[in-house]
Amino acid sequence: MDDDLPRARTDAASQLAKEILDPFSQDELTARIALLEAEIARVKAHRDKAAAHRAAAEALFGGKGGT
């Protein structure tokens, strides 16, 4: 898969947003929220790690527009 191509619009978040929640019990919805919050935390941690990596690379090699 080419990373330069735009992401498909049928990603997991889009599919979840379309799902009908009526059949779920309150306990199932609570469990689903916990899973989604854990996934959000995982994605944020990855984003922060990537940002720190990029900042370190820019500090070492010079950022955009640097000399």
Q: What is the pLDDT of residue 62?
A: 83
Domain boundaries, the chain: 22-61
Q: What is the pLDDT of residue 34?
A: 98
Q: What is the pLDDT of residue 59?
A: 92
Q: What is the pLDDT of residue 2?
A: 57
Q: What is the pTM of this model?
A: 0.68
pLDDT at 9 over 80: no
**Contact at 8 Å (CB) between 39 and 31?**
no
**Contact at 8 Å (CB) between 37 and 45?**
no
